Amino acid sequence: MSDHETTVRRHWACAEARDWRGYAATLATDVVYEAPQTRERIRGREALVAYMSAYPGDWHVPVATVVAGGSGAVSRVDALVGAEEMTGICFFEMGEDGLIRSMQDWWPQPYDLPPEREGSSERY
Amino acid sequence: MSDHETTVRRHWACAEARDWRGYAATLATDVVYEAPQTRERIRGREALVAYMSAYPGDWHVPVATVVAGGSGAVSRVDALVGAEEMTGICFFEMGEDGLIRSMQDWWPQPYDLPPEREGSSERY
């Protein structure tokens, strides 16, 4: 397992365990978190830990996949927020010290197939 | 650049150029494409090329990022479909021959910030 994969898996495992000291230890002090779909941005380790530790709901973030290479990594988590299943995809960039310096967090939602694409694929 | 990154960039460059012969050459014959948000699945290189080459609209798929490692890669494309900007995130798995054997394609959409998250982050 690459170093960046280890860091990303630890990041999510600490979030799952609400181990905010361990979570913080995966982050650079000046980490920048962005959620482009809502255009939310959080600057700094302290602010990000505060945001995550206060995140509402009974949420779980089991990791489905990590792809790591170069200076970054991408994870997919099959999250549960209460009874709702959600897919989270996060792009991470690491600094030379191996700590997470940026996160770009995406939460794609199911949507109805547009009529013009009906019949051109199998459904599952 | 890793082999898988090269393959993914060629995959999108050929799609952008409507070079369906070059596009097909990045795919295993038994490639499986899935779009989990709509639960679409397409099996086989021939069917996937037919689907992509018939995809409606004036679309463009410039690559923003590729992270490649292990047996896979992830790309983000900042797509344009007509005048609409869309973000596409695709997870690729490659076989031992380096060809794409699976794709899991996500298209996250903007959404309104839930009221309970108002004020807990900067907006951009």
Phi, psi for residue B20 in degrees, rounded to 5: -75, -25
Say which residue the tokens 């150029």 belong to: B17
Interchain proximity A109–B106, CB inside 8 Å:
no
Contacts for A118 with CB less than 8 Å, ≥ 6 apart: none
Query: Which ipTM score applies to this complex?
Result: 0.95
Which run of H or of E encompasses A79?
strand A72-81
Tokens of B115: 């009221």
**A interface mutation test: which of B38, B53, B85, B116 has the most A CBs within 10 A?**
B38
pLDDT at residue A118, as a whole number: 83
pTM: 0.96
B2-47 pLDDT, tens digit per residue, is 899 999 999 999 999 999 999 999 999 999 999 999 999 999 999 9
pLDDT at residue A68, as a whole number: 98
Cβ-based contacts of A2 with chain B (< 8 Å): 69
Average pLDDT over residues A83-111: 97
Model confidence band, residue B118 (pLDDT cutoffs 50, 70, 90): confident
Asked if the model's pLDDT at residue B96 lies above 90, the reply is: yes
| Inter-chain contacts counted by CB atoms under 8 A, chains A and B | 126
Q: How many angstroms separate the CA of residue B9 from the nearest CA in chain A?
A: 15
Average pLDDT over residues A92-102: 98
pLDDT at residue A36, as a whole number: 97
Asked if the model's pLDDT at residue A1 lies above 80, the reply is: no
Euclidean distance between CA atoms B119 and B27, whole angstroms: 46
B40-88 pLDDT, tens digit per residue, is 999 999 999 999 999 989 999 999 999 999 999 999 999 999 999 999 9
pLDDT at residue A71, as a whole number: 96
Which residue would you say has higher pLDDT here, B40 or A1?
Answer: B40
